[in-house]
Amino acid sequence: MKNFRKRGKMQTARKIFLVTLWSVTMTSCGGSEKTAQLESPEETTGIPETPYWESAERMEQACSYHLGEAEFLRIELASTSPDGNEEKAVKQFDRIMMHVDKMAGLSELVANVHPERGIREAAEKCQQAVDKFITGLSLDRDVYETFSEMNLGRLNPQGKRIGQRVLRDLRRAGVDKDEETRNRLAAIKEEMVSTGQDFLRNIREDTRFIELDSADDLAGMPLDYVSSHAPGENGKIKISTEYPDFLPVVTYAGNEQLRRDIYIQFLSRAHPVNIELLEKILKLRREYVSLLGYEDWAAYNAEDKMVKTADVVEDFIDRVSAIARPRMQQDMEEILARKKQDNPDTDGIHMWDRFYYVEKIRKEKYGVDSQEVRAYFPYNQVKEGVLSVLEKIFSVTINNVDREVWHPSVEAFEVRRGDEIVGVFYLDMHPRDDKYGHAGAFTIQSGIQGEQLPQGALVCNFPNPAEGPALMEHSQVTTLFHEFGHLMHHLLSGHHKYVLLSGFEVEWDFIEVPSQLLEEWAWDPGVLATFAHHHETRNPIPGDLVKKMKAADEFGKGVHVMRQMALAALSLGYHRGDPATFDLDAKAREINEKYSPYPYEEGTYLYCNFGHLEGYSSAYYTYMWSLYLVKDAFTRFKEKGLMNASVAHELDNCIYSAGSAQDADEMMNCFLGREPSFDAFKDWLQAE
């Protein structure tokens, strides 16, 4: 192995590499051929404190700097003798990932939320550079030899865990293959990243519209929705496929043709352009894992999850489906009977009926009117109330702070325990052009004990108080709790010795447990009464109404679970076997017929706009897998109360703050005091 141990030679190597990398990155990202002047760390503190998202140039500089530092450390690690240097090598690898982490999460966030296209594009280029670096690191034979020759028994438990995981992941990347194979794996990985970015960008930027002739077509819609959708200059009312437009229409619009038209447009986004891209992604994944010796992508992707094998995933989907199908059939019979009251000649229940008639039945059978419920959830009130609940659950204080942001509507906050800052987060909560269209928690950087604070952001598309009363659906309140579950997991787990032990490093089929568990607080009458006050009368939401909301929410869960199983089966099905042997449409129809409650609709192309096919690939099952664990974990709070300080402390200690210092099943055992059980999930799914 190369010997770069003399300080002078190392420093020279660092300077040469960083200046070269920065120059290359500035050219490839921004198109301008300028050479950056970068001093060594002894001569400067590195990147200035101005935000990396300030300009495309700043984004490029930051990306080059941190990847340059990571490369310098990689060179040093590759030359490290493993004998007696185990702790140093593990820490060195973690430092490499610290620099990668600083740009990986931030570039993903900026690419999805920044209002300026040039800065988004610079962030996308950085994402590509980060993934390229990670691919190179994962295929570095010298780094692999350093770890494979270690005596891991000399390390402390956390260091040993990281050493074992590094070896596992290097082997899964193909580091032990011949040079030709490693080069091909690297090329495939780079192509998968860029193609996946194109796939998601097409979904994000393809906002479609329908136009209505008259406000009469909006019969049944909330008054604030109607008033905010005045006719344009052409006299037409424009309705978009963005969530704040789309969801109210498919939930409340009495006009079935309107619901159908907007749903068809919604499920046609990114068509036909994403057909070719998805086919390419699937073929690249297949080639990649074939070179690694796996049967297919689904087998490869399951190996480092809780499930371990794709067969377990398929068995889980079928097991849940078998339990849910009788409940689904019961739900569908009731929904069809209700639709026939409006249209005796109906040909059946379609996807555009699901929200509308479930809402109708909930209102008529359970006395729950979602428009009435919305009145208790103005956005600003909900935001402050949820923050207050989080403070109580996790024994923290959350304060608004003055920090540079990427858009005027974004807010910054600090989380503290006593005088200690636990972390920093940002809220980007309202829709705008070219912004990420769903709800998600993004990391900005992971924390390291005594060195750097964890930072993150929530990105949502809730009603904007600047445009009216901003009344939220209760489902959006639940979503806010869910995303804060992710965020608190990230922040509270960011105080380990190693960045690789942060919360988002857990097994991917456990990642939704902290978020889905926090949704339960959105259904508690006592919790909601603290902040759900009518926006006009200021009266708190009645406890009886919350109980009826919960009973109403239980209606349709058979349909909902089977819909989720259809998506999970689609996610898995596209990645089992050879994609060259099946057609995207034919596979979608086959899976829809087996699992979905609804008929396959001609003129829709779900696979073109199902973004999880890029990020989760074959692992969409994780949402329901996590829910089974959540239902089990929540039995402790059902017994002791949602605001029980002792149980909340154990939840924090065993799961949230634990990060990935243990395997997921060990964390569940810690909190439950036993092995996880399927019983609570089954009871919930079968209960009336």
Q: Are residues 140 and 225 in the same domain?
A: no
Name the residue among 72, 94, 84 with its Cα closest to residue 7: 72
pLDDT at 49: 57
Number of neighbouring beta carbons within 10 Å of residue 505: 21
Count the neighbouring beta carbons within 10 Å of the beta carbon of residue 353.
22
| Counted domains in the chain | 2
Residue 468 pLDDT > 90, yes or no? no
284 within 8 A of 191, measured Cβ to Cβ = yes
Residues 223 and 100 in one domain: no
Among residues 58, 631, 158, 564, the alpha carbon closest in space to that of 325 is found at: 564
DSSP secondary structure letter of residue 504 = G
User: Same structural domain for residues 91 and 13?
Assistant: yes
Residue 653 lies in a domain: no
CA gap 65, 286 in Å, rounded: 34
Contact call for residues 515 and 485 (beta carbons, < 8 A): yes
Structure token digits, residue 174: 């193909």
Would you call 434 helix, strand, or coil by DSSP?
coil
Q: Check whether residue 71 and residue 154 sit in a common domain.
A: yes
Q: Which runs of consecutive H residues, i.e. helices, occur in 395-503?
A: 474-492
- Phi, psi values for residue 438, rounded to 5°: -110, -150
Claim to verify: residue 252 and residue 167 sit in the same structural domain: no
Asked whether residue 409 is assigned to any structural domain, the reply reads: no
Question: Is 325 in contact with 319 (CB distance < 8 Å)?
Answer: no
**Are 162 and 238 found together in one domain?**
no
Domain membership of residue 161 (yes or no) is yes
pLDDT at residue 551 greater than cutoff 60: yes
The answer to whether position 339 is within a domain reads no
Q: Say whether pLDDT at 147 is over 60.
A: yes
Mean pLDDT of all residues belonging to the chain: 91
Structure tokens, 236: 């037409």
Please state the rounded mean pLDDT for residues 563-572.
98
- Whether the predicted pLDDT of 2 surpasses 60: no
Domain for residue 249, yes or no?
A: yes
Joined together, the tokens standing for residue 134 give 């990670």
Q: List the structure tokens of 537.
A: 């009368």
> Is residue 326 exposed (0-12), middle (13-18) or buried (19+ Cβ within 10 Å)?
exposed
pLDDT at position 688: 74
> Would 491 be classed as within a structural domain?
no
**Beta-carbon contacts of residue 387 (< 8 Å; ≥ 6 apart):** 398, 413
Taking only the tens place, the pLDDT of each residue in 6-50 is 223 333 333 333 333 333 333 333 333 333 333 333 333 344 456
User: Helix (H) and strand (E) counts for the chain?
Assistant: 28, 7
pLDDT cut 90: percent of the chain above it: 88
DSSP 652: I
Instruction: Write down the H helix ranges in 542-655.
Output: 543-554, 557-573, 584-595, 606-609, 612-615, 622-640, 645-651
Is residue 138 assigned to a domain? Answer: yes
Is the pLDDT score of 66 beyond 80? yes
Closest CA to 302 of 310, 294, 293: 310
Place of tokens 């979905």: 596
Phi, psi of 444 (to 5 degrees): -110, -45
Distance of CA 48 to the CA centre of its chain: 30
Residue 611: inside a domain: no
Same domain, 160 and 230: no
Same domain, 19 and 138: yes
Measured CA to CA, the distance from residue 256 to residue 276 in angstroms comes to: 32
DSSP string, 381-397: HHHHHHHHHHHHHHT-E
What confidence score (pLDDT) does residue 287 get? 98
Provide the sign of the torsion angle of the four alpha carbons 323, 328, 333, 337, taken in this order.
positive
Q: Are residues 101 and 37 in the same domain?
A: yes
Phi, psi of 35 (to 5 degrees): -100, 125
Share of the chain above pLDDT 70, in %: 93
The SS3 assignment for 567 reads helix
228/151 same-domain check: no
Note the pTM of the prediction, 2 decimals: 0.85
Residue 366, amino acid: Y
Structure tokens that stand for 660 in this block: 């990935």
Q: How far is it, in rounded angstroms, from Cα 424 to Cα 400?
A: 10
Query: Among 604, 585, 509, 586, which Cα is nearest to 208's?
Result: 604
Domain boundary among 176, 194, 218: 176
> Which pLDDT belongs to residue 50?
67
Question: For the segment 586-635, what is each residue's pLDDT rounded down to a tens digit?
Answer: 999 999 999 999 999 999 999 999 999 998 999 999 999 999 999 999 99
CA separation for the pair 59, 46 (Å, rounded): 14
Quick check: 134 and 166 in contact, CB under 8 A? no
Residue 549 has pLDDT above 70, yes or no: yes
**Cα gap 333→339, rounded to integer Å:** 10
- Other C-beta atoms closer than 10 Å to the C-beta of 11 total 15
For residue 221, give its domain range.
207-266
What local confidence, expressed as pLDDT, does residue 80 receive?
85
In this structure, the answer to whether residues 18 and 163 fall within a common structural domain is: yes
pLDDT in tens, 249-272: 999 999 999 999 999 999 999 999
477 close to 533: Cβ distance less than 8 angstroms: no
For residue 465, name the pLDDT band (cuts at 50, 70, 90). Answer: very high
**pLDDT per position as a tens digit, 305-349:** 999 999 999 999 999 999 999 999 999 999 999 999 999 999 999
Strand partners, 378: 471
Long-range pairs of 363-367 with CB within 8 A, sequence gap ≥ 24: 363/552, 364/338, 365/552, 365/555, 366/548, 366/551, 366/552, 366/555, 367/548
Mean pLDDT of 91-109: 96
- Same domain, residue pair 160 and 223: no
pLDDT at position 353? 97
Of the CA atoms within 13 Å of residue 591, those in its CB half-sphere come to 27
Q: DSSP code of 6?
A: S
pLDDT at site 471: 96
- Give me the helix-helix angle, 622-640 and 679-686, nearest 10°: 90
For residues 269 and 546, what is the distance between their CA atoms, to the nearest angstrom? 36
Distance of CA 687 to the CA centre of its chain: 30
* Closest among 93, 73, 79, 87 to 160, alpha carbons compared: 87
| Position 435 confidence tier, pLDDT thresholds 50, 70, 90 | very high
Q: Retrieve residue 307's tokens.
A: 């499930």
Provide the 8-state DSSP code for 150. S
Residue pair 421/451 in contact (Cβ under 8 Å)? The answer is: no
| CATH code assigned at 61 | 1.20.1050.40
